[in-house]
Amino acid sequence: KSLPKMLHYRYEAIRPHIEKMELPVCIGQDIYGNPVSWDFADLETLLISGEIGAGKSSLMRVILTTWVKYTSPDDLRLILVDLKRADLGLFHGIEHVDALCFEAKDMRKPFALLRAEMYRRGDLLLEHGVTHIRRLPFKLPRIVVVIDEMSIVKRETDLVEMIQQFASQGRALGVHTIIAMQRPDADLLNSALKANLRVRISGRQADAINAKVAGVIGAEEIDAAARGRMKIKIDEVKEFQAFFLDEGACKEILSPYKALIHDPEPDIEVAPQSIFELLEKEEQ
C-alpha cells in the first residue's frame, strides 16, 4: 500500500469522521486510507515543524478552517500569532479570533489577559471543587493559542515563559497551544516544554538531529519530492499524506465566517464580544 500523492481538503468529506469530537483535528490519510484525526480537547498541545515547502502552512489552514466551520465562536476563541506575516492573516475578521499578532510587542497584552483568564478559571475549579472545566456546571469556551515561527521570539524571555505556562498548565483550564517552527530549536524546545507538547507533526527535516529535536524520529527520511508528506507522533510515529488547502480555497471557505463590523443600520448584526473584552471590563 502507498500514500496518495495529493489530497485536497474537503470539509464535507471529513465531517463524518469528526462529528463526535469537541475540537476535531483531521489532517490527512495514513497508508491504510484511514483519516489521521484526534480530538484537540483531549490532546491539547501540538508542535508542527519541517523545512520550507514541507506543507506547514497548508496544515495550519486545514486545522483552523475546520474549527471555524465546526465550532461556534461561543465555544472556541483563538489567539493567533503570525510572526512570519505569511499565513494567519487569512483569519483576520473571523468571529472566533480574539487577537491576531504580527510582532512580539503585540503579543504581550493578549498573553497577559489570557494568563489572567487562566487564573480566573483556576479559581472557578477550586470554588466548584472540580478538576477540569468540563465538570463545571456551566460551559466555558476553549481557547487556542497558535504561535507560527516561535523561534522569532526566542530572546523575548517573558513571552517564552508565558507560552510554556500555557502549554504546561492549560489542560484542565481549556487552554490549548499550537507551536510551529521551521527548524526545531533545542534551546526553545527544552525538556519541560517538549514533555507538554503531546502531539508532534513534522515535514521533512534536514537531518536526524533535527528530527530528534522535533520529537519525530525518521522525519529526515521523508521524500523531499512528496508534497504534503509528513510524520505524526502521538503514541507511535506514523507517516501520512496531509490534506492540501491553498490560500484561495481557504479564503473562499472562510468568507461567510468573517465578523460583521459595527454599522449604524439596525439590521446589521454585530459580532459577539471577545472573551478579552469581557475580561477587560471586569478589571475596570
Segment 93-108, tens digit of pLDDT:
999 999 999 999 999 9
pLDDT digits (tens, 9 = 90+) for 36-46: 999 999 988 89
Q: Could you tell me the sign of the dihedral formed by the alpha carbons of 17, 204, 202, 66, in that order?
A: negative
If one compares 151 and 7, the residue with the highest pLDDT of the two is 7
Task: Please report the domains of the chain, with CATH numbers, ordered by start residue.
Answer: 7-256 (3.40.50.300)
If one compares 19 and 225, the residue with the highest pLDDT of the two is 19
Q: Is the pLDDT score of 5 beyond 70?
A: yes
DSSP string, 196-259: H--EEEE---SSHHHHHHHT-TTGGGS-TTSTTEEEEESSSEEEEEEEE--HHHHHHHHGGGBP
Can you tell me whether residue 91 is helix, strand or coil?
helix
Binding site members for ATP = 50-57
Share of the chain above pLDDT 70, in %: 88
pLDDT computed for residue 235 by the predictor: 84
pLDDT digits (tens, 9 = 90+) for 248-284: 999 999 999 986 544 433 333 333 445 555 554 444 4
pLDDT computed for residue 265 by the predictor: 39
**Measuring CA to CA, how many Å separate 140 from each of 132, 177, 264?**
11, 17, 31
Q: Is the pLDDT score of 163 beyond 70?
A: yes
Residue 159: count of CB within 10 angstroms of its CB: 19
Q: Is the pLDDT score of 196 beyond 80?
A: no
**Structure pTM?**
0.89
* Cα gap 113→107, rounded to integer Å: 10
pLDDT digits (tens, 9 = 90+) for 75-94: 999 999 998 887 899 999 99
> What mean pLDDT is reported for the chain?
87
Q: Is the pLDDT score of 156 beyond 80?
A: yes
Binding site members = 50-57
Q: If you search the block for the grid coordinates 449604524, which residue do you land on? A: 264
With a CB cutoff of 8 Å and minimum separation 6, the contacts of 187 are 154
Q: Report residue 143 as a C-alpha cell.
A: 481557547
Q: Is the pLDDT score of 189 beyond 80?
A: no
pLDDT computed for residue 93 by the predictor: 92
